[in-house]
Structure 1
Amino acid sequence: MRRSTTSGVTDTARAADRRRLGAVLGAELICAVLLVGGSQTVPAGPADAAPSVAANPSPSAVAPSAAARTVTTPDGRITQLIDLGAPGGAALLDRIGAQLPGATAAVTAFWGENWPRELDIVVAGSPQQFATLAGGGTDVAATTTVDRIMFSPAAAAMTDADLRIVLRHELFHYAARSETAADAPVWLTEGVADFVGRPAAAVPPPVVPELPTDAELATAGPARSAAYDRAWSFASYVADTYGADRLRTLYVEACGPGHADIATAVREALGAELSAVLRGWRQWRDS
C-alpha cells in the first residue's frame, strides 16, 4: 500500500502498487452506500457462510460466543473488539487495538471531537461470513456501516503500515457518518478519508488531474486504484492550499445531508470557483 516517494520506480511497480491499494481500500465503495442507510437485508452468502441477517446485526446475535474485549483510548472513547473466530483474528484485533489511540487522535485532529464515543470493531470468522455480513469480497480488507467497522480475516496479512491506513480511513467514515448523505460524491468521501488515513509525509503520486467518476471508483482493478489516487491528490491539494479546516468544511458542504452541488460547495467552502480550484490543483501537481 505504501507508495514510493522517489521517481525511480517503474510503471510496472506503480501499477502493482495501485492494484494493492485498490485491494486494501476497495471496501469504501460499499461504505459509501451503507454509511447512512437503515437496516437492510443482506443476500444469503455461500452455503457455509453465516445465515442471512440484517445488514447491521449485533455481533452477539450472529455469534453468541464471540470473544470480545474493550479498549478505552486516551480521549475516553470505548471500542469493543470482537473476534468471530477466524484463525489469527485475535492477533489482528491486538494490532488494531494497539493502533486505536493514534487512529482516534488522527480522526479527531481533522474532524473534531463531535463523533460517536462508542464503536464496535469486528473481525469476521471467515471470508464467507465477511461477504455475508459486511458485503466484502476477497479483495476487500474492511467495511464500515452505521454500527461498526468489520475486517476481513484476510486483513491479518497486512503490514502494520497498511493496517494503519485502513483503520484510520474506515474510522473517519465512521466518525463522519452523520454528515455523509447517501448521495454524497464518492470521490470526495474517499479522497478525504484517504487524506486522514495516509501518513502526512506521504506524497500523492503523479496523476491525471481530473476528478474521478463513480464508475471508475466502482470498477475493480488499476482504474479504481488510480481513481483513489486522484481523489486523495485533490483532497491533499485543498488541505495544503486552503487548510485542513477548509477541507473539512468542503466535506460538510458537499457531502452532508441536503448538500449543495460540488461547484456551489467549493465556492462556499473555499471562496473560489471550481474551475479555479481545479486549475490550481493541476499546477500544484506539476510543481
Structure 2
Amino acid sequence: MAVVLITELLGGSALVAAPAATPPSPRSAVPAPSPLVVGDGRTVRLISLGGDRTDGLLTRIAGDIGDAVAAVEKFWGTDWDREIVIIATGSPQEFVAQAGLDPRGQWQDIAAVSVADQVDFAHHRAGGQRMVFAPGAVAMSDQALRIVLTHELFHLAARADTALDAPRWLVEGVADFVARPPTPLPPGAAADTGLPADADLDAAGPLRAHGYDRAWWFARFVADTYGVDALRRLYTEACGPGHGDFATAVRRALNTDIAELRARWAQWLTG
C-alpha cells in the first residue's frame, strides 16, 4: 500500500501521493513525552525535533488540539484513531524525512502534512498516522495555525474513509469546512458558477488559491442548503473507497441531480 500524504500549504492545500518506501517512524526517531489526553480520551503525543523553536510551536498546538478534536468529532464522529501523533521539525531535511517526501521536490511553502504509512480500507484501519509540521510553521499566526491543525486532523480522522482516487477538491473543501470559520463571500464570487474541479487546485499562483476557496465555498453551500449531515454523506459517497461518479454520489447523498445542484449552487453564490 502506498503511503498517503495530504499537505497543507501556507497559501493552499494539495493531495500528494508519496513514494511507496516507508518513512522513518516518529516513535523510534525521538522519544515522545507524556501524552496529552483530549476529547473523549484520545491521547496526543507531541514530538519536538527543533529545540526551543519547535517546543514553542508544540506548546501552541497543545493549547489548540482540544478544540480541533472537538471540531472534527462534531462533524465526522468519533470512529477514528485514538492516538494522535504530532511532530514539529526543525529543518527542511527533518521535515522531508519524517513526512516521507521526495527530497528532490520543492516543499518550502508547505506548513504541515498528514501522513500514514499504510491504509487498509477493507478493515477500516490506517497505520503509522501522524501530522508533521514544517519549520516554517513556527511563524504562522495563531488563527492560521488553528486552521491548519484542524484541517490536517480531519484528514487524519477520515483517512480510512478516503479513497486514493477521491476528488481532491471535495476532500480539501470539506477539510476546510471543518477547520475554517465562515466569512462573507468576496465580490465577484458568482463570476464562475461551475462546479469545482481538481484542475482548479493545480493552477498557478492566485488561481490556485481561488480554486481552494471555491472548494471550501461548495462545502459550505452543501451544508447550508442540504444540511451538515448531507455534506458528510456526500463525502462518504463521493470520496469513500469504491465510490462511484460524482453525479451518483449527489443523487444518493443529496437526493437531487447535477442540474438542480448547479442551479442552487449558482443561486447560493449570488447570495
Q: TM-score range by the shorter chain?
A: 0.7 to 0.9
Give 2:148's aligned residue. Answer: 166
Give 1:7's aligned residue. Answer: none
- The one of 73, 76, 79 equivalent to 1:111 is 76
- The one of 137, 145, 150 equivalent to 2:132 is 150
SS at structure 2 position matched to 1:202:
coil
RMSD: 1.9
Q: Which amino acid aligns with 1:74?
A: G
Give 2:61's aligned residue. Answer: 96
Q: Which amino acid aligns with 1:84?
A: L
Q: Aligned ranges for residues 52-91 of structure 1 at < 5 Å? A: 54-55=22-23, 57-61=24-28, 63-64=29-30, 66=31, 68-91=33-56
Q: 1:125 to 1:68 in 2, by over 3 A?
A: farther
Q: Distance in 2 between matches of 1:283 and 1:82?
A: 47
Give, in angstroms, the shift of residue 85 of structure 1: 2.1
For the pair 1:202 / 2:183, whether they are aligned, the reply is yes
Answer yes or no: is the 8 Å Cα contact 1:86–1:126 preserved in 2.
no
Give 1:137's aligned residue. Answer: 107
Give 1:246's aligned residue. Answer: 230
Q: Aligned ranges for residues 30-45 of structure 1 at < 5 Å? A: 30=16, 33=17, 40-41=20-21
Give, in angstroms, the shift of residue 180 of structure 1: 0.1
Q: Distance in 1 between matches of 2:140 and 2:62?
A: 15
- The one of 241, 255, 258 equivalent to 2:242 is 258
Give, in angstroms, the shift of residue 24 of structure 1: 1.8
SS at structure 2 position matched to 1:145:
strand
TM-score, structure 2 normalization: 0.84
Q: Distance in 2 between matches of 1:24 and 1:275?
A: 35
Answer yes or no: is the 8 Å Cα contact 1:29–1:218 preserved in 2.
no
Q: Which amino acid aligns with 1:142?
A: A
Q: 1:111 to 1:89 in 2, by over 3 A?
A: same
Please, which moves more after superposition, 220-229 or 187-196? 220-229
Please, which moves more after superposition, 202-211 or 228-237? 202-211
Query: Number of paired residues?
Result: 244
Please, which moves more after superposition, 276-285 or 184-193? 276-285
Give 1:24's aligned residue. Answer: 10
For the pair 1:236 / 2:236, whether they are aligned, the reply is no
Please, which moves more after superposition, 276-285 or 86-95? 86-95
Segments of 4+ moved more than 4 angstroms: none
Identity of aligned residues (%): 49
Answer yes or no: is the 8 Å Cα contact 2:46–2:58 preserved in 1.
yes
Q: Which amino acid aligns with 1:76?
A: G
- The one of 201, 206, 210 equivalent to 1:222 is 206
Q: Distance in 1 between matches of 2:267 and 2:141?
A: 34
Give, in angstroms, the shift of residue 116 of structure 1: 1.1
Q: Distance in 1 between matches of 2:173 and 2:254?
A: 17
TM-score, structure 1 normalization: 0.79
Please, which moves more after superposition, 261-270 or 116-125? 116-125
1:129-173 deviation digits (Å, cap 9, x = unpaired): 213432371111100112111111211111111011111110000
Q: 1:88 to 1:209 in 2, by over 3 A?
A: farther
Q: Which amino acid aligns with 1:140?
A: I
Q: Which amino acid aligns with 1:161?
A: Q
Structure 1, unmatched stretches of 5+, are: 1-21, 42-53
Structure 2, unmatched stretches of 5+, are: 1-7, 117-128
Q: Distance in 1 between matches of 2:110 and 2:242?
A: 30
Answer yes or no: is the 8 Å Cα contact 1:111–1:248 preserved in 2.
yes
